[in-house]
Amino acid sequence: MDTREDPPIVTCPHCGANVPAGEFCGLCGAHLATGSPRRSHAYAAVPNQRVAHLAIVSTLFPHLAYRRSGPFRVAIVAGGALVVMLAALHLFAPATVAAVFLLPVLYLMYLYEVEVYEDEPWLVVGATMVLGALLGLAFANVAGVSLSQLDLTGDRESAFVLAALAIPIVAQLLMLAGPAFLYTFRARFREPLDGVTFGAASGLGFSLASSLTAFWPLITGPLVANGSPIDWAIRLTRAGLLIALINACTTALIAAALWLHRYDTRRGRRPIMSSLLGALVIALGVQIMVGVIGAVVGELLVGVVLLAAISIVLLLYVRVVIHDALLVEGAEHGVGPEAPCPECHRMVPTMAFCPACGAARAAGTKQGRARLAGGV
């Protein structure tokens, strides 16, 4: 017989519901002590971090519990170090391969780790990473040929419009193709975090293929090549890290807003930041900015610094959107039996948010939630 006493019940100052006492309201996620519905000190996916915290893993890999994200963080740092080491040894071709594959491979491992695809792994991985990569491959070839033709004819104006405007916009729309397919034909992937994950995966697949296309002559060239290792390290940071991150973020942003549009039934109350129009303007604006930087900034280092600044702002923006989306998710759930929280492992009533640490259930892994629902 269960001898534990039920936790005392308190009234949430934000949603007004009677909920188990704790740090956070299990229904709406508000911080109970301060009554703050925004709780900007506790990011809803990983509550031991602030919302305004710069992090790649807890932003683009939100389903990972903090305890399980260590290997991913180590892999990103170790991968970066490997790229720099290879570049320092003038092994530019292997350095390039390592740089462009690092994030996409980690993301694929993440998809498997958290089983975001439920029981359709091939469909989801195919429609996001693989389709993104195929479209990236085709588009990089077509865009490359058109650009070099314009360069040959010396038509600088058309070349600028193509490089700074047309290519970035078309590329962004192509990165959205896979997520849009899943949105249309697989309505059961209804959680906004599904949108974030599909968008990021598609953006990373696209970036991988277009970077590989751009670097192909080098990769197939001699193993030890001439050139400045520092130049190469900068160039590979740009392609392997910054462009990949930017593409993952912009696509995740639009997909998150699209998914949220279907999920959030409280029309009209959504902040402009996570609205579909807001996401489209930001994402396309960023892509055009990256295109313009590529077309007009001749100095490699200056371009990379600008892209780094854009990536930082974008990562923070995506985090705010994820945080908002998870807080929206709260509204519809009830109170379940006591079970360990996937994030902090304390025994808590199963609710939309962990009353102890404030983690959103929707940011836990799907198999963990299925086990809970099955009562195992």
For position 113 contacting Zn ion by CB under 5 A, the verdict is no
* Residue 182: CB atoms within 10 Å: 24
- Shortest distance, position 341 Cβ to Zn ion, whole Å: 3
Take residue 57 and report the two structure tokens written for it: 């893993």
Stretch that binds Zn ion, among 10-18, 52-60, 62-70, 211-219 (CB under 5 A): 10-18
Residue of 14, 39, 235, 238 interacting with Zn ion (CB under 5 A): 14
* Ranges of H-type helices in 89-191: 92-114, 121-125, 131-153, 156-161, 167-175, 177-185
For position 173 contacting Zn ion by CB under 5 A, the verdict is no
Closest to Zn ion by CB, 246 or 348: 348
User: Would you mind telling me the total number of residues written for the chain in this entry?
Assistant: 376
Take residue 161 and report the two structure tokens written for it: 């419009």
For position 191 contacting Zn ion by CB under 5 A, the verdict is no
Stretch that binds Zn ion, among 30-38, 167-175, 311-319, 360-368 (CB under 5 A): 30-38
In Å, how far from its chain's centre is CA 265?
24
Closest to Zn ion by CB, 28 or 129: 28
Closest to Zn ion by CB, 40 or 228: 40
Q: Determine contact, residues 308/176, Cβ cutoff 8 Å.
A: no
- Phi, psi torsion values for 347, nearest 5 degrees: -75, 120
Q: Between residue 340 and residue 359, which ones bind Zn ion under the rule CB under 5 A? A: 341, 343-344, 354, 356-357, 359
Query: What is the Cα–Cα distance from 265 to 154, expressed in whole angstroms?
Result: 53
For position 339 contacting Zn ion by CB under 5 A, the verdict is no
**In Å, what is the CA distance from 175 to each residue of 2, 139, 253, 255, 353?**
52, 11, 12, 10, 32
Q: Which residues pair with 36 in a beta bridge?
A: 31
Stretch that binds Zn ion, among 56-64, 169-177, 190-198, 333-341 (CB under 5 A): 333-341
Q: Give which of 317, 316, 312 is closest to 271, Cα–Cα.
A: 317
For position 15 contacting Zn ion by CB under 5 A, the verdict is yes
Closest to Zn ion by CB, 48 or 213: 48
- Shortest distance, position 240 Cβ to Zn ion, whole Å: 35
Residue of 20, 24, 25, 257 interacting with Zn ion (CB under 5 A): 25
- Shortest distance, position 372 Cβ to Zn ion, whole Å: 13
Contacts of 328 (CB under 8 A, 6+ apart): 192, 260, 263, 264, 266, 270
Q: How many residues bind Zn ion (CB under 5 A)?
A: 14
For position 12 contacting Zn ion by CB under 5 A, the verdict is yes
- Shortest distance, position 204 Cβ to Zn ion, whole Å: 29
Residues engaged in binding Zn ion (CB under 5 A): 12, 14-15, 25, 27-28, 30, 341, 343-344, 354, 356-357, 359
